[in-house]
A and B are shown apart, each in its own frame.
Chain A
Amino acid sequence: MKKIIALIVAGLMIAATAACGQTSAPQAPEAPQETTGSGQAEASQEATGEAGEFDAFIDNFTEPVTLDVAMMWPLNSETDAKSFALNTALERLARDYPNITVNYDGSVHDDYQTIMMTRSAANSIPDVYNVKGSWLRNFIANNQIGTVDEFKALDPDWFNSMYDGCMFDMLVDGKHYGVPFQLITCTLVIYNTEIYSSVGYDEFPKTWDELIDCMTKLKDAGYVPIGVGNSGQWVANSTVFGSLGFYGGGIQWFNDIMNRTGNGFMDAGMLNGVDKMYELASLGFFNDNINSIDHNEVISPYLNEQYASYINGSWSLGTLIAVAGDDQSVVDKSGVATLPSFDGAIGPAPAASIGSGWGQAYSASLSPAEKYAAYLLIKYTTDEEWCQSLFEKGDFGAIVGNRDYSQSSPVVQKYVQAYQSWNAGPLYDCHFDPAVIDSMNMNFQDILANNITAEEWGRRVQAEYEIS
């Protein structure tokens, strides 16, 4: 009896070890992509979309289909724009296609990434899901994602109406693997026009020298010139480096990183941008607790007029308006700008990182009927009606469209007017290898604390880049 028990225990241990051994992280990308660098997606000729596979479903799709869907929005939120738009989209889908059953698993941003990494490693990808641009290569290599170019022929108007910069985030080797569901501008300076006027600036500084002069005067007047909440680490990369890196290195540096050409993270032009971030920090223009508060926590001191301005993405506009509540006085006198360029910059100005970052995707292992149902769900969660639902809650979809902003807050109107005149830079954290992004983010915290120089930052990230 004892021997039998010992054998069973040994067997279980071997099985457990084997199970551990079978799991693996998503594979590294096989080859670097060719980026156009212009923000214009150039789909390959053969990826124009063939409707043939779906001919049987187009006029009469009644086959019962159940979709396993995972996305990063809970269904019950009362204030989240995406949650509102998703509920509306699912209601439309259920009304138009009662044969489609959606088993929805909603979680929140960070937890969703944990779920997807686990499911990817276990090769158990949902049928339809949110995909991040930086995940695409791994998912493609593991055959866990299908190209959405196949849907283009089913509804070209819908497919072609997406903002180009958003489609670019979903492009790998000439094919699109997701349909963008949002349009975000990452480098947005929200500033108090009254406070800026009080130090002699009726509009946001247009040059770097003006910026330094203005910030110095604001600091001397007792204000925190620019608030940033970088406890999440990604904020400085997305919202500050998004513009400064683009000015410094231009699109050429981005293409070099993607193609593994050039000097990588030791590129002098790009490091010039990092050095500008270091300069702002060393002159004390940011809040002291920059690395310990999150990006939403800058809003309260801004509304209390302790901060003269703050940097965040376009997603913060809705929160700003909501937090202000009944007293919209500070919101109404807020201006919207992006950071100015500097001497030696090679990227076009003014510029901000504009794109989607995320898109709707489907599993590569679906049957034709499931794939058609996935197409419908993806379309319903990215189309004009989706964008209109988002707009009603102060968010922006990837179809710009002609919307009536007259009822929107003045700060939203200023934002819409501003970003359309800016040059669109890429969302670095949507395209670079996740390990490199982690290294960039972690070392940006040291830059903001003035612990390291731009060159040291470059050396550290380069080391990660070379082994990624």
Chain B
Amino acid sequence: MSEHSLIKRTAHAAGSAAVNVFILLFSLFCLFPVYWMLASSVKNDSDFYMNLAGFPQTFRPSNYLAAVNVGRLDIAFVNSAIVSGIAVFLILLISFVMGIVFARYQFKGKGFLYIMFLSGMLIPVHALLIPIFIELRAFSMLNNRFALALVYTVFGLPKGIFLVTAYASTIPREIEEAVFIDGGNIHQLFFKIFMPMCSPVLGTLTILSFLDAWNEFPFSLILMGRPELKTLPIALTYFQGQYFVEYTMMMAGLSIATLPVVIVYFIFHKRIMQGMVAGSVKG
């Protein structure tokens, strides 16, 4: 091996090592908050304050049990699951149908309706807190999980319709024609043809909608006034006193609250990676 070649290979290896070290450091930077949350969740208060970023000097898994008891995380967990489940289901169903309609059909007022739905993305959530509170109070729907899920659905629809419309508009026209030529009806076209083909975007939408509903705070705070109806983000605030925060219990609670999000992500992330309509139409 010539000296020049050796120098070149060494330089290349050094360059690769530098890039990898940078990526490693960046990964550690990103993972540190997760480590900090998990490490803090098993410290006692003294260890937490005196040793903020270090490894736990004490190991107190009982923080998790205490977190469940203090924050009533068990009840909040169920509430969040119910509300998020209903909201995700409704967002998927309505976004899918509306998205296909907007992408595949021409009708009068389509542009206006589409813009009206999308304009929902431009309205700040906090501007609607009071009107929605008044509206739901008028219909006696405060302290109602389904009402909260409806609110989440309304806020999730603009994004969902936008995503499905954009995705469905790329599906070839020949597919619809083939379905009708083979004697299929519109119901079969929507739910047996388009729905499986839209599964990647619906997977993405599931994750995004679930994340939004699972983590939503202001509406849950305002609309759910009874302890037995509080959702997880609200329950996690119970670790704050008037003038102090029970950080260790809060971190244990956050670790518990993060788990479903990670699970949902791992279930659906492959869907996002799948090809869009590869192989659906033979050339």
Residues of A near any B CB (own CB < 8 A): 2, 6, 9, 16, 19-20, 22-23, 70, 72-83, 103-109, 111, 114-115, 118-119, 121-122, 124, 295-296, 299-300, 303-304, 313, 315-316, 318-319, 322-327
Contact = CB atoms under 8 A, between A and B. Distances in A.
A325 B45 CA distance: 8
Interface of B: 44-46, 49-50, 52, 66, 69-72, 107-109, 113, 116, 127-131, 133-135, 137, 218, 221-222, 225-227, 234, 237-246
B225 A304 contact: no
B244 A19 contact: no
B109 A6 contact: yes
21 contacts: A22-B131, A23-B130, A23-B131, A73-B242, A76-B70, A76-B71, A77-B241, A80-B241, A107-B234, A108-B237, A109-B240, A114-B218, A115-B222, A122-B133, A122-B134, A124-B133, A300-B52, A303-B49, A315-B243, A324-B46, A325-B45
Nearest to A25: B130
A107 B137 CA distance: 20
A121 B46 contact: no
Nearest to B131: A19
B225 A326 contact: no
Contacts of B238: 74, 76-77, 106, 108
Contacts of B242: 72-73, 80, 82, 108-109, 315
B221 A115 contact: yes
CB-CB nearest 8 A-B residue pairs: A325-B46, A80-B241, A315-B243, A74-B238, A300-B49, A23-B130, A19-B131, A108-B240
Given A303-B49, A304-B50, A103 B226 contact: yes
B245 A296 contact: yes
B194 to A, nearest CB: 23
Contacts of A6: 109
A75 B235 CA distance: 11
Contacts of B52: 300
A74 B238 CA distance: 6
Contact of B131 (A16, A72, A77, A326): A16
Contacts of A315: 242-244
Nearest to A120: B130
Given A2-B108, A122-B133, A323-B46, A107 B237 contact: yes
Nearest to B66: A78
Classify the secondary structure of B's interface with A. helix
A114 B116 CA distance: 29
Given A19-B135, A108-B242, A124-B137, 16 more contacts: A6-B109, A20-B128, A22-B134, A76-B70, A78-B246, A82-B242, A104-B227, A107-B234, A111-B237, A114-B222, A296-B244, A304-B50, A315-B242, A322-B45, A325-B44, A327-B46
A301 to B, nearest CB: 9
Nearest to A18: B131
B254 to A, nearest CB: 15
A79 B67 CA distance: 12
B227 A106 contact: yes
A146 B134 CA distance: 23
A26 to B, nearest CB: 11
A78 B52 CA distance: 22
Contacts of B240: 108-109
A122 B129 CA distance: 10
A326 B46 contact: yes
A114 B221 contact: yes
A121 B226 contact: no
A124 B136 CA distance: 12
A115 B109 CA distance: 39
A83 B241 contact: yes
Contacts of B226: 103, 105
Q: Please indicate which of the listed interface residues A121, A122, A313 has the most CB atoms of chain B within 10 Å of its own CB.
A: A122
B134 A79 contact: no
B134 A23 contact: yes
A118 B46 contact: no
A158 to B, nearest CB: 23
B231 to A, nearest CB: 13
A319 B46 contact: no
Contacts of A2: 107-109
Contacts of A313: 243
B227 A118 contact: no
Contacts of A115: 221-222, 225
A81 B243 CA distance: 10
Contacts of A324: 46
Nearest to B50: A300
Given A6-B109, A22-B134, A76 B72 contact: yes
* Residue of B49, B69, B129, B246 contacting most chain A CB atoms (<10 Å): B49
Given A9-B116, A22-B134, A322-B45, A107 B244 contact: no
A76 to B, nearest CB: 5
Contacts of B222: 114-115, 118
B156 to A, nearest CB: 18
B248 to A, nearest CB: 11
A121 to B, nearest CB: 5
Given A76-B238, A315-B242, A315-B243, A105 B227 contact: yes
Contacts of A9: 113, 116
Contact of A76 (B69, B133, B218): B69
Given A107-B221, A313-B243, A118 B133 contact: yes
A144 to B, nearest CB: 15
A111 B50 CA distance: 28
Nearest to B241: A80
A20 B49 contact: no
A20 B108 CA distance: 29
B130 A121 contact: yes
Given A6-B109, A300-B50, A122 B137 contact: yes
Contacts of B130: 23, 118, 121-122
Given A16-B131, A76-B69, A115-B221, A299 B243 contact: no
Contacts of A122: 130, 133-134, 137
A70 B225 contact: yes
A111 B45 CA distance: 24
A153 B246 CA distance: 41
B109 to A, nearest CB: 7
B238 to A, nearest CB: 4
B97 to A, nearest CB: 15
Contacts of B46: 323-327
Contact of A303 (B50, B71, B113): B50
A23 B134 CA distance: 8
B44 to A, nearest CB: 7
A292 B234 CA distance: 24
A5 B108 CA distance: 12
